[in-house]
Structure 1
């Protein structure tokens, strides 16, 4: 390739890769869908390979497209950061992030200082909620949700691949299937399907398991388990963080992959021409595993 790709084409591709929808991407950039499609096809022609797989009502990134989208998003974020660093921001940058409270406490919050050290000009406001549909009406720049990514009111971009594990009080040996069937269980309201799925994966009858506690956050479940109140099934990343910060729990069974994941979302009709939000989303993709 004799020259670097057109920057306008790259911006169109990056937006389309985030939205997985040419119409939404075009609306974000303030251009027509036809123009955005032309930009992406021109970029593909210059690169000599397809970046998207196009089907009726379905747009997906090719493997090359996925890798390139990450690189382009990071490069555009670096350009924005360099511009701000050298020439200054026109106004203070404030970033409001909404995230489930357990995800904030057991994953994101302890990593936020790494982001602000790299981007000292951005201040963070973290707004936590328990249920996605109970979130307030305040404006947010970035929202992180846990689920299957099929919310009707937002566009979503998958960040993580998750596994679930059983946990018990520290010092508990690995639980046998009989233990899982008979020991008291702590259920997390709204996430009972994780608990049920883990049991079903090992053909453990669910009606035989005793449930002494039902709580509305993983944080509460971890504390009850640490105090000897039974076992719970939670995200492996939450369990690892809880152990790292000194909670008296142990992982007592093998991990099980699940379909649910953390997604970064935005209202379908909202523009994301927000440098701080773009930088934060790029950073999230780097730390999420």
Structure 2
């Protein structure tokens, strides 16, 4: 009798999606995009000739056959993992070195990394923020993330994000928007290197320029968020950092609609760099996923 043996990758995508009941979270766990998970599920359903999920707006559930199949698939995948480990031993860890701007590392990449290591237990990540850039040579860096306008002569540059900015206020302060005169009653915080952030935001929304210069100046977005959370003023920061800080429980709120930002995140690669190891390419693909415009904030 002819048997049907579905693609193992499809089965892993099905197991994660069925357990989490969320294609996006399943993709994050496996280091794949939501689109990839959806395609795997559709391919599996087509092969089996059976609907495994019931899809409704903002709701995903298992069909009766999906529930029955999940138990067997989960047990089979566990047995494969156990057999592999018992016969061949635990997978030797591969270490990759990642360099990123300090605020990107602290506010976006760091909170997402536990999901990557869970999905790829054989890969260790050494994360170096650019505050320590002088302590490591370019040759030691496997994955280099930079933020800017994309002009680095002599390097291969791949844009992986489109950024926007929002104003933030203390969560405990009165609910006022940027256009309200009362908004400037609190100190305005400015981040070094982003001196034009407030002007860009106000101009994008057709609002009047600041009547006074920012009274507090800090060197990182992380410090600006901490000051706002402590009730020390208002700041204009990148939207992804604001949503990540809110997801982490910081006492801040967004105080206005987003405005476009002229800088983006980029993957940088030297043209003379050797061919990337498989684990490096896995991490780069995962980065593309979490920095995509539709990627949610980290699950904390």
TM-score past 0.5 threshold:
yes
Deviations 1:232-285 (A, max 9, x none): 000111111111111111101111122311111122321232211111011111
2:285 aligned with 1:286, yes or no? no
Instruction: Let me know the Cα RMSD of the aligned residues.
Output: 3.0
* In structure 1, distance between residues paired with 2:271 and 2:198: 32
| Partner Cα separation in structure 1 for residue 132 and residue 168 of structure 2 | 23
Q: 1:184 touches 1:209 (CA, 8 Å); kept in 2? A: no
Using the alignment, how far apart are the partners of 1:125 and 1:197 within structure 2?
A: 35
**Match for residue 224 of structure 1?**
227
Q: Is contact 2:202–2:208 with CA below 8 Å preserved after alignment?
A: yes
- Which among 197, 200, 222 is matched to residue 200 of structure 2? 197
CA drift at 1:287: 1.9
Any residues of structure 2 matched to 1:17-28 within 5 Å, and which? none
Q: What residue is the counterpart of 1:20 in the other structure?
A: none
Contact 2:204 2:260 in 1 (8 A): no
State the SS of the aligned residue for 2:150: coil
Counterpart in 2 of 1:270?
A: 273
Aligned to 1:159: 160
Larger CA Rg, structure 1 vs 2 = 2
Mapped to 2, the partners of 1:282 and 1:257 lie a distance apart of 25
Contact 2:229 2:250 in 1 (8 A): yes
The 5 A counterparts of 1:99-118 are 99-118=100-119
- Check if 1:125 corresponds to 2:126: yes
The answer for the alignment partner of 2:137 in structure 1 is 137
Q: Does 1:171 align with 2:172?
A: yes
Task: Number of aligned residue pairs: give it.
Answer: 208
Flag structure 1 segments of 5+ consecutive residues without an equivalent. 1-69, 72-84
Name structure 2 gaps, 5 residues minimum.
1-34, 37-84, 293-300
Are residues 1:234 and 2:226 paired? no
CA distance in 1, matches of 2:207, 2:132: 29
Hey, what's the Cα distance between the residues in 2 that align with 1:269 and 1:89? 34
Give me the whole-angstrom Cα distance separating, in 1, the residues matched to 2:251 and 2:178: 20
Aligned counterpart, 2:263: 260
**Change in CA separation of 1:93 and 1:258 when aligned onto 2, cut-off 3 Å:** same
- Aligned partners of 1:144 and 1:262 also within 8 Å: yes
Deviations 1:5-24 (A, max 9, x none): xxxxxxxxxxxxxxxxxxxx
Distance 1:180 1:147, change over 3 A: farther
**Aligned position for 2:252:** 249
CA distance in 2, matches of 1:246, 1:130: 25
